[in-house]
Chain A
Amino acid sequence: MPKSRREFIKSALSIAIYTLTASSGILYSKLAKAFWVKEYFSPDTFENTLHQLFEDAEFIDSRKIKLSRLPRVAENGSSVPITVSSSLDNVERIYILVEKNPSPLSAEFVLSPAVETRVSARLKMAETSDVIVIIEAEGKLYRKSKRVKVTVGGCS
């Protein structure tokens, strides 16, 4: 006996709801399991830090990443504001790196779908350097960087 149309819709819906809950569950548990990795934050060269984080993955330079509030010239390297936002879909992680800092990785944000891709922070910068933001979304890595001239270093 074929199922009635109503029953079919009901079961299809419950499967859809189950899938939705299950996938958001995976994302949330990803956040619960995310942990601080010493190697990522240890003093090292920028190249080695990138390799620790992403091995040999390729980066896509993207105009869909916006770095606002990050000044071209920072008079005080001990507190440099940055706001990262993006129109990329399904962003999972945001990495903020300062190329010339002794420990290049400043912060890694793991985001759930409950938040917009928009985070602000304040960085220490030892000297004039590129600030590189890498966004992980749908298994790809997107990059945007901006040079910040530091007048007085912040002993990062």
Chain B
Amino acid sequence: MSSIKIRTKRLDGNTQIRTLITHPMENGRHKDEKGKLIPANHIQVLRVELNETNIIVCHMAGSISKNPYFDFLLKGGNAGDKITISWVDNLGKADSNEHTIK
């Protein structure tokens, strides 16, 4: 299952894009139960594409909350438009998911 959930909703002629991503977002300053530092593991780049064109790029640190939530507002938006959201983290892991506007 993808780590990325995407939902869209029409709002006054625009389209709200909401995304929830499963990711630990460890900043490298937390300790585990044994007192050992947990290595940094956080998303660095999040991309939102509309029909394969970048519309938002977000760069982030480990100070974005665990399991990050974002929402954006697309101007207009038509049924059948394809939204693609992808992320890459500091360990080189990546994921992406697609959603079609209804």
Contact = CB atoms under 8 A, between A and B. Distances in A.
Interface of A: 28, 31-32, 34-37, 40-41, 78-80, 83, 98, 101-103, 105-116, 118-125, 154-156
Given A114-B50, A115-B56, A103 B64 contact: no
Nearest to A122: B65
A38 to B, nearest CB: 9
- The 10 A-B pairs at the shortest CB distance, nearest first, are namely A31-B54, A122-B65, A116-B73, A41-B61, A156-B63, A120-B71, A110-B57, A118-B73, A79-B65, A36-B44
Given A114-B75, A155-B29, A155-B30, A78 B65 contact: yes
Interface of B: 14, 25, 27, 29-30, 44-45, 50, 53-66, 68-75
Contacts of B69: 120-122
A115 B54 contact: no
B54 A32 contact: yes
Contacts of B27: 102-103, 124, 155-156
B58 A109 contact: yes
B29 A102 contact: yes
Contacts of A40: 59
Contacts of B44: 36, 41
A35 B58 CA distance: 9
A88 B55 CA distance: 18
A110 B58 CA distance: 6
A123 B64 contact: yes
B64 A107 contact: yes
A133 B27 CA distance: 21
A111 B58 CA distance: 9
A135 B80 CA distance: 32
9 contacts: A35-B45, A80-B65, A106-B64, A107-B58, A107-B64, A110-B58, A112-B54, A115-B73, A121-B70
B59 A78 contact: no
A107 B60 contact: yes
A123 B54 CA distance: 24
